[in-house]
Structure 1
């Protein structure tokens, strides 16, 4: 399909939801005795491992790429919110990790090929948002082969063949620039079971001429073209303001602790502000993400930490606790955490209920220009993913 005006949402969803590998329950083992096969039932230790989708996002930050960066900032939450509903097989919820690279900007190191790792693989959504908002553009040299090769060298892609490992690279210069041959980088990716998806920012045929499609096909990926300067279309709903107010209440249920606590909580608030500064609807989408399983902060929030199997309130150091809990007994601390947990669950439930109504409203307001193409893409993606044992609910 020749797609000239696809928002980054569609591109990211194509990558975030398309499933090329999915680890389900361990298959029954068979033991042959006297030419008779006996099925061995799973032992208690035979548990399904977490399915992990690893996505490395490689963004061209040279001149004229401001539109691309702005779309990525605005539509991160669309990716997360759609991914929330993914399931592998009948029970496993896949984990999502994102890494971020920028390439092609003048003030990046020339000795490194104008390539920089901005963020290693992480599931910290606030960190991902922060790094996206830190990006700026400037003129430079765009070497696609180099940035792909660098991401393959630096990132821990793991060896689990059932996990989905993907690069998607966006830019608007020929794909074959630089000293690192893109074919060599693509071959390396294929050997590591890493899929390369390419997004050309411009005319579809021009991207093909610039070898962006070839770069994708060499590593089992997909090629797309987008109008990166197109205004992101958001549909406002009657539920948006209520969700934004509920998000402010949601933030009050977080109990910061440890050396990271105060800094991480400040980052949470700052990324709310960044989202709202783009547009209120972006803040709504972020609030929905914060009410999902994808938003986890056990490294600095006591409510999320209490969900971990090894959590023990009696082992918390008083100096690591917020001021209001430092003179409390273990029982009082546990009661306080339980109270905040209940408050959070109630707020998240309310946000999710409002979002269900919001989605119905959006569906009724969409027209062919802002909805048909994206809906068709998502439908195709889910159909393809179903063949790999993914489903949505």
Structure 2
């Protein structure tokens, strides 16, 4: 009887161990929406991440702040795309939270994760344009604590891990002590940068500077109601024509490909709703290494070594490609890839002239969301061996 019980126990333990291993193996792999590109949870040692969590106050008085975020997104992305870190590839991830809005769940502290860390720039733009303001309670410590616990922060301290929180109410409100939240961030090598929307001295008096000081972050005060000025240049019309040509090189696939293609066009429209010059800024972003869409675009997907073009089912292709043989499809993708590279290079070449024109024809800019973010990112990036070309 004892032998039987021992054998039974061994079998049960073995079964539990095997099931646990199976579960561990399963969760170690993350499939994309189309199940074509597989990525492990391992960190690529050749990559350095810039992780930026934006925590935006969406209470009644913050319409100007949200407008700045929408209007300045692409220039921020463009400036970050110039980052270097030795021979490492740079990856940009942006997470987005809103807080201080009565329309958000009170049991969650009037906080909502709008978007987890994402490299999908179109998705980030879409979510920014979806934000609306409403009166509410602004709990800075709570939203910082939530972002630290919910987001997939890199463990390795070689990466640049930053929180930017913007608002205009006292920093010490709410159920979570901001000093505790900031201390937790410090222990995880996450730097908190605070952006007070209002008078510089008032932000100090309401503890916004102290919230940044704990992690040696930057404190800034901005005029959140200042309208973003986009400088038009002689190169804009040509760059917008190149954007249309660039769009024609995207070839969607998969169950969500068509929707993603429409989302791309929608964000082009959102960008130009501020000005043609802002749409040009987005065009520049689309020519950078940060703008990748391998989950829905065959051209970007084909650059991934783990992607097998032959495995894409015909029904997942656009109508005009369904009848092509595998060899014909490969040639088509290669042709579009080459076409895209040439267009992107033309955009980059024109952008050098555009940047120089803006530099020589613009007045000193007001202190705004873009200037506060870029100043802090560059300063803190230097401490992690990131550099920016002039």
- CA 1:143–1:303 in structure 2 vs 1: closer, same or farther (change >3 Å)? same
Indicate the SS of the match to 2:220.
Answer: strand
- In the other structure, the counterpart of 2:323 is 327
- In the other structure, the counterpart of 2:132 is 136
- Counterpart among 242, 246, 251 of residue 247 in structure 2: 251
- CA 1:165–1:377 in structure 2 vs 1: closer, same or farther (change >3 Å)? closer
Q: Provide the TM-score with structure 2 as the length reference.
A: 0.84
Indicate the SS of the match to 1:51.
Answer: strand
Counterpart contact for 1:58–1:169, Cα < 8 Å:
yes
- CA 1:293–1:65 in structure 2 vs 1: closer, same or farther (change >3 Å)? same
Shift of 1:375: 8.9
Which deviates more, 188-197 or 94-103? Answer: 188-197
- Counterpart among 66, 76, 84 of residue 63 in structure 2: 66
- CA 1:376–1:363 in structure 2 vs 1: closer, same or farther (change >3 Å)? farther
- Counterpart among 157, 168, 177 of residue 181 in structure 1: 177
Cα shift readout 1:237-263 (whole Å, capped 9, x = no counterpart) = 011111112111111110000112001
Counterpart contact for 1:176–1:211, Cα < 8 Å:
yes
Hey, what's the Cα distance between the residues in 2 that align with 1:377 and 1:127? 20
- CA 1:183–1:369 in structure 2 vs 1: closer, same or farther (change >3 Å)? closer
Cα shift readout 1:116-152 (whole Å, capped 9, x = no counterpart) = 0000000100000000000000101101011111111
- In the other structure, the counterpart of 1:311 is 307
Shift of 1:109: 0.5
Indicate the SS of the match to 2:89.
Answer: coil
Hey, what's the Cα distance between the residues in 2 that align with 1:80 and 1:282? 12
Larger Rg: 2
**Which stretches in structure 1 are left out of the alignment for 5+ residues?**
1-46
- In the other structure, the counterpart of 1:281 is 277
Hey, what's the Cα distance between the residues in 1 that align with 2:173 and 2:371? 35
Q: Provide the TM-score with structure 1 as the length reference.
A: 0.84
Counterpart contact for 1:86–1:93, Cα < 8 Å:
no
Shift of 1:85: 1.4
Which deviates more, 223-232 or 313-322? Answer: 313-322
Residues 1:292 and 2:264 aligned together: no
Counterpart contact for 1:103–1:116, Cα < 8 Å:
yes
- In the other structure, the counterpart of 2:363 is 367
1:52-201 to 2 correspondences below 5 Å: 52-89=49-86, 91-201=87-197
Hey, what's the Cα distance between the residues in 2 that align with 1:323 and 1:255? 11
Shift of 1:390: 2.0
Residues 1:339 and 2:338 aligned together: no
Which deviates more, 377-386 or 241-250? Answer: 377-386
- Counterpart among 346, 350, 372 of residue 350 in structure 1: 346
- CA 1:334–1:261 in structure 2 vs 1: closer, same or farther (change >3 Å)? same
Counterpart contact for 1:258–1:321, Cα < 8 Å:
yes
Shift of 1:210: 0.4
Counterpart contact for 1:233–1:370, Cα < 8 Å:
no
Residues 1:390 and 2:386 aligned together: yes
RMSD, aligned CA: 2.0
Hey, what's the Cα distance between the residues in 1 that align with 2:353 and 2:238? 12
Hey, what's the Cα distance between the residues in 2 that align with 1:283 and 1:377? 21
Counterpart contact for 1:115–1:147, Cα < 8 Å:
yes
Counterpart contact for 1:145–1:180, Cα < 8 Å:
yes
- In the other structure, the counterpart of 1:35 is none
- CA 1:261–1:375 in structure 2 vs 1: closer, same or farther (change >3 Å)? closer
Cα shift readout 1:268-325 (whole Å, capped 9, x = no counterpart) = 0000000101111111000000001010000100000110112222221111111111
